[in-house]
Amino acid sequence: MTTFYGLPGAEAFWHWTTLVHFLLVALAGGTAFYTAVLGIRRAASARGLAWLALAFIVLDLFMLWAESPARFRFSHVWLFLSFEPASAIWWGAWGLATSALMLLLLALGLGPARFWAGVLALTSAVVLAYPGYALAANAARPLWDHLLLAFFPASGLLLALAVLVWLRPAEEAAPWLQVAALASLALAALYPVALASGGADARLAFALWLRGWGWFLLGGGLLFLAAFLARRAPALAGACALAGAFVLRSWIVEQGQHSFFVHGF
């Protein structure tokens, strides 16, 4: 039996608002990346989309600030006054800020558009990548496996494509959606394998995953449907992809943060 006098800091530290941010940042990064790819090919075709990506970034940055208990202390300025390259969130802050700038230049048609699109491809890739890095960096949280370094960018791009497939000519976005859905599905299927074959916490990590396998069945099923329907019924495929990727990402973020140290393994 374990009892405590006093309180370890083992409560959940990220809340539903954080899950919304994990969704918004994927929409922002994925849309920006798609804009960059279009823009590199033909700059003019990316202008409308640039506004949408910019809107997602603004929405996400607002959400990040609004949900932060530090919001009225205005300490966020330090994100841009420090050099912390080992911190995923620092990369995210700069990735979002520079992507926003590139998108604004693209949207307004100022300067060398294809060059901006090239820069945007890099900065938006950072935005897609940093949430997975922010999770995987924590050796103390067994569910936040290194595989998330790949799963979060893939599913993030998928989330953006799920929205784009409604807004863009479907024949343009649908093949991308299919590829992203298949990649996310493959990574989601590998996830429990990666957990079970991890380090010292492998048994624990897999046992934890088993508690949530139903969510993976649901999320994985939706991703499969998205890939299957991508070319046949793109709008429906988009809805499946959005729901599936959101369920899987949210489960991983939400469940992975619980302290197994305090509750025992």
Partner 1 sequence: MARYAMLIDLAACVGCAACAAACVLENEVPPGHGRLWIRQRELGAFPDVTVEYRPEQCLHCERPPCVPVCPTGASHQTEDGLVLVRAERCIACAACIAACPYDARFMNPAGYVDKCTFCEHRLARGEDPACVETCPTGCRVFGDLDDPESPLHAWLAEAERVDVLRPEMGTAPKLLYLNTPSKRGLANHESEVES
Q: Residue 88 interacts with partner 1 (CB under 8 A)?
A: yes
* Number of residues in contact with partner 1 under rule CB under 8 A: 49
Q: Which is nearer to partner 1, 45 or 75 (CB)?
A: 75
One of 5, 171, 211, 232 touching partner 1 (CB under 8 A): 5
Give φ, ψ of 111 to 5 degrees: 75, -170
Q: Which of 55, 58, 89, 202 binds partner 1 (CB under 8 A)?
A: 89
CA distance 162 to 185: 14
Judge contact between 188 and 252, C-beta under 8 A: no
Q: Does 93 bind partner 1 (CB under 8 A)?
A: yes
Asked if residue 261 binds partner 1 (CB under 8 A), the reply is yes
Region near partner 1 per CB under 8 A, out of 10-18, 48-56, 95-103, 117-125: 10-18
Only one of the segments 5-13, 97-105, 164-172, 226-234 lies at the binding site for partner 1 (rule: CB under 8 A); that segment is 5-13
Q: For partner 1, give the closer residue by CB, 11 or 45.
A: 11
Eight-state DSSP code of residue 83: -
Contacts of 220 by beta carbon, 8 Å cutoff, 6+ apart: 185, 188, 189, 244, 248
DSSP per-residue letters across 107-166: HHT-S-HHHHHHHHHHHHHHHHHHHHHHHHT-TT-TTS-TTHHHHHHHHHHHHHHHHHHH
Q: Does 69 bind partner 1 (CB under 8 A)?
A: yes
Query: Is 87 one of the binding residues for partner 1 (CB under 8 A)?
Result: yes
To partner 1, the closest distance from the beta carbon of 36 in angstroms equals 24
- What span, in angstroms and rounded, lies between the C-alpha atoms of 185 and 247? 13
Q: Is residue 73 a contact point for partner 1 (CB under 8 A)?
A: yes
- Pick the binder of partner 1 from 31, 127, 128, 141 (CB under 8 A): 141
